[in-house]
A = this chain, B = another copy of it.
Amino acid sequence: MAVAGPDIEALIRQLAKLPGLGPRSARRAVLDLIKKKESLMVPLIQSMERAVESVKICGTCGNFDSQDPCALCLDPKRDISVICVVEDVADLWALERSASFRGVYHVTGGLLSPLDGVGPDDLNISGLVARAGADEVKEVVLALSATVDGQSTAHYLADRLDGANVALSGLAHGVPVGGELDYLDDGTLSAAMKARRPV
């Protein structure tokens, strides 16, 4: 029910479209924005305007950045012989936060999903095949979700990359660090048991 003025209600509706914000939390956020107009709302508008103008998709890897090619692709300290394939920029960010990978990335922009009508042409796959064909590329890490769609996409990519002279790898399955065994699903537990290592 519209209880605030039309401008405020319009702002609540817009904000409620963000993931993680429902109508109720959007209301709270809007009240906060109104109360802190100069210190919160105006700077947020400016940041968003800057992002609208500057953020582009990297033509090489599919990352978001203010420059194209992105800072990661241009970074001379990155190992361009290893390409890590991820489904979404969010995954690229997650891997970067873990600081566990020093190669470069390739964002497919999604997973193959015949049921949802997502085919190879809807994803950034031909770009990957072209990149993997370059002489300097030695390894492609398929860091896709451990779901049915993720794994079938990985199989499809493995087929497509068959002609390229690269080693293919995938993320290890196992017990999450800090995870308790009795909360884990059977598939993870049996994968961890099969891949057990000497200590």
Contacts and interface: CB of A to CB of B under 8 A. Distances in A.
Interface string A7-26: 11011011101111100010
A184 interface: no
Contacts of A181: none
Contacts of A47: 7, 10-11, 13-15
A28 B51 CA distance: 15
Nearest to A32: B19
Given A31-B89, A90-B28, A50 B1 contact: no
B34 A51 contact: yes
Nearest to A50: B7
A123 B30 CA distance: 21
B55 A34 contact: yes
Name the prevailing secondary structure of the A interface residues: helix
A185 to B, nearest CB: 23
Interface size class for chain A? 35 or more
A21 B5 CA distance: 24
A6 to B, nearest CB: 7
A52 interface: yes
Contact of A97 (B1, B13, B99): B1
A65 B20 contact: no
Contacts of A168: none
A133 interface: no
10 contacts: A1-B96, A3-B97, A4-B64, A5-B54, A6-B66, A11-B47, A19-B32, A31-B90, A33-B48, A45-B52
